[in-house]
Chain A
């Protein structure tokens, strides 16, 4: 390379760093101090255990890496119950691989809180107190229930939860996830009984409901036209709607049951600085906005930075289960639900 060309390139390069690099650095410093960021970058990466959908979490990691390209996030994903067993066993054997854990079942995570380090995001005060179960665990992800329907099959689209008890939807037009499938569904059916009425289940079950083991096959059945309507976590159907599936989803005015996750940094984290930075970013306004806009999540921030499409904050109310009741009522109510819907457990 000729000296002049080299000098020109060096000047241009420096200018690039100065113009493009500075805002990037400023961007980074929203989520941690210079020292914390330097320490995190020195660690170079972290291991992230999640019970959420792998693809969704990959999007989160990709977005995080736009701000922190030097921190690699390795993900281990397993279904909820299996992930908990793995964490417990690894921790007992002194081989817990996770730096950060992301899990939807707050009750189970609460039992494991001793495995987690003290951690608080910079914007801790902005979070709803009822979304927290432990000062160590934070709702990095919050999901909400919507009513989804196949636009090619449904003429009179449902607008409220009560519409899902109308006789016109009888004969397995409505599908839903079985009650005992996990904490997210239990939140919804608890909402149905406490908010929509003691007889809501009976009225709906009388229509004949198609039952599915989890949200994924339910959303798939809805898109394929096996069923016409289904209560679904908004994030499961949202990405399909964006991609052009013949489906739509609404938030009902009676309330949107939400599921705040319980995420934390483990005490044994090999990369504690990178882990904190990752958590800070996910819990920040930016991280939450990204998840709302791109993934169809909701947020547990008191003052949401944005709303999903069709969410009118004047009309739609968020419903968070009382955690004590969430634990206490679970078994007896689920037994009743199983009987009402004819689900053999």
Chain B
């Protein structure tokens, strides 16, 4: 920042001081009211549930019988301890792998001259579209120790080695490869927005490219790495599908599978599930606090007033090495599980006596797709899902921008509370948060319950942390001097946001809204309690197929879902690229 702008700023502020003084508390108050409705109220319901034996709607608040029994039950249960450590091991290992893969990948795509980068970047996001349940099923088909396609192939080749994805290491690998895109999204956006002059300075000072990466590039994007790894860790903690499909056969329980059992048992033990959920929230709160401690007091602004173009490192012949690395990654992450799903979707039954049975073409047909599209709910669920996805992305994107800006770019009092409230929902597993929303919102006057809007609101609330964190990274990187320049030029706050902040944060905003859209489309836990026959969504139908024991139909429907998501995301990427280019160069 220059001395001139720092001195000029108070003078420029003088004129608008009075309305701003009023506007700030009003604005913070409005945000807090929205967050109270979306987060605090349902959370209170959850705490109410965890601390009593009653259902707040069924028994009424008057019947509140405070009891810490559920907490003590949960804390004393050895199986919960085991599930807790399993969850930490699986998610911790998965996060480390996700960081290694995501970071390497974003560097290859953004900062090197590896060939076909656009294709690699697009394809690497595919795992994000795959619902966790489908990912678990796909890797079960591939990596089951007895009948997995990988092992059938190894046997045919004559290699003795056997994969076993029904294990802790299997869970870690699948978590790692499926949540690497989270880290990738954060770090790629940070790398793209980074001023290359800092790296150039390092190289001018004699550092090698390798040293520069580890001493300049990665430390500078530390907020993005931390945010990405924290988010992927916490999201993994809340995933049910992968451990259900891969952990269950080996009797490996994690917290989510334990919570699912609590909610699915007869009678369902929601109060105990709420107690486990609150423990999860405590873990997450500690992690968020730790992240803030690490980042506090350091400046990570890398987008300054100087114009720049992201530079590509010329790898020479090594670019073919990075290209082949990317290909191997894509093969493992995209091709193999997709192939497993395609085989499952087109094959009548998944029984393979040996490798040659894979090529028995009589066993393949469109029967599962025909059956899926014969179901009148299929088209209805697709249409509903798209509507919910769009509403969630627009409303949630706008809210996240408002929150992100307030938290990261202003000094108004109350912003820390806003940040905390916006982060809380990340820790609550979907199945439990679903019942919290049901308890909280069913009693509201008006016709919200039973509409698409209640689903969209639940998704906005549930995924607010993901969206706000994704956006915050973009905000952290925009140097304050750019806004100050606009103020000096006489722009008001809204004008500055419109003409400076929004255009610069546009890649982040589009990425966050896209993320929100994808998450909304996959979300099952909260949908299950809020959908009605008219508002059924794809995730609910997918669970119906899975619970019906129809791997073929599950695979066929998830391929349909993947194709729809792929097309829509391709479209948004194209639109965002067009608009970004127009903003930058026009």
Contact = CB atoms under 8 A, between A and B. Distances in A.
Given A89-B438, A182-B264, A344-B79, A82 B529 contact: yes
Contacts of B144: 224, 226
A201 interface: no
Interface in A224-250: 224-226, 236, 240, 243-246
Interface string B523-564: 000001101111010001100111111110100000000000
Residue among B348, B377, B449, B544 with most chain A CB within 10 A: B544
A293 interface: no
Interface string A121-154: 0000000000000000000000000000010100
Contacts of A58: 375, 377
B544 A217 contact: no
B19 to A, nearest CB: 43
Contact of A245 (B58, B349, B531): B349
Interface residues of B, number: 59
A82 B526 CA distance: 11
A342 B79 CA distance: 12
B146 interface: yes
A90 B442 contact: yes
Contacts of A291: none
Contacts of A181: 264-265
Contact of A56 (B267, B377, B548): B548
Contact of A86 (B147, B264, B529): B529
Nearest to B269: A81
A269 interface: no
Nearest to B431: A82
Interface centre among A82, A152, A181 (most CB of B within 10 A): A82
B404 to A, nearest CB: 34
Contact of B55 (A82, A92, A97, A246): A92
Most central of A75, A93, A95, A219 by chain B CB within 10 Å: A93
A80 B443 contact: no
B264 A88 contact: no
B353 interface: yes
B251 interface: yes
A244 B266 contact: no
A108 B265 CA distance: 11
Nearest to B441: A93
B10 interface: no
A182 B266 contact: yes
A205 interface: no
A244 B442 contact: no
B304 to A, nearest CB: 52
Interface stretch (A1-9, A26-34, A208-216, A306-314): A208-216
B266 A344 contact: no
A287 to B, nearest CB: 21
Nearest to B252: A344
A220 interface: yes
Contacts of A107: 266
Nearest to A90: B442
Contacts of B532: 47, 76, 97
Contacts of A243: 348-349
Contacts of A210: 249
B179 interface: no
Contact of A216 (B268, B438, B450, B546): B546
Contacts of A220: 350, 549, 551
A223 B350 contact: yes
Nearest to B543: A79
A221 B348 CA distance: 15
A17 interface: no
A114 B314 CA distance: 75
B53 to A, nearest CB: 14
A342 B248 contact: no
B533 A74 contact: yes
Contacts of B439: 89
B76 to A, nearest CB: 14
Contacts of A218: 549
Contact of B244 (A53, A88, A213): A213
A211 to B, nearest CB: 6
A344 B534 contact: no
Contacts of A183: 266
B351 A152 contact: yes
A54 interface: yes
A316 to B, nearest CB: 24
Interface in B419-453: 431, 435, 438-439, 442-443, 449-450
B184 interface: no
Contact of A224 (B58, B147, B544, B547): B147
Interface in B399-416: none
A61 to B, nearest CB: 10
A312 to B, nearest CB: 27
Nearest to A150: B351
Given A55-B550, A152-B353, A216-B546, A88 B58 contact: yes
Contacts of B249: 210, 212, 221, 226
B248 A213 contact: yes
A152 B251 CA distance: 26
Query: Which of B249, B348, B531, B550 gathers most chain A CB within 10 Å?
Result: B249
Nearest to A227: B146
Interface in B28-73: 55, 57-60
A219 B549 contact: yes
Contacts of A75: 533
A85 interface: yes
Most chain B Cβ neighbours within 10 Å, of A85, A152, A183, A212: A85
Interface in B336-363: 348-353
A212 B144 CA distance: 14
A340 B28 CA distance: 58
Given A86-B438, A92-B55, A79 B547 contact: yes
Contacts of A77: 540, 544
A92 B79 CA distance: 34
Contact of B351 (A84, A217, A246): A246
Contacts of B245: 217
Interface of B: 55, 57-60, 79, 82, 144, 146-147, 244-245, 248-249, 251, 253, 257, 261, 263-268, 270, 348-353, 375, 377, 431, 435, 438-439, 442-443, 449-450, 528-529, 531-534, 536, 540-541, 544-551, 553
5 contacts: A81-B264, A217-B245, A219-B549, A226-B249, A246-B349
Given A76-B536, A224-B351, 12 more contacts: A78-B529, A80-B266, A81-B266, A84-B267, A84-B268, A95-B450, A213-B248, A213-B257, A216-B547, A226-B146, A226-B147, A240-B349
Nearest 5 interchain pairs by C-beta: A81-B268, A216-B549, A74-B533, A54-B544, A92-B58
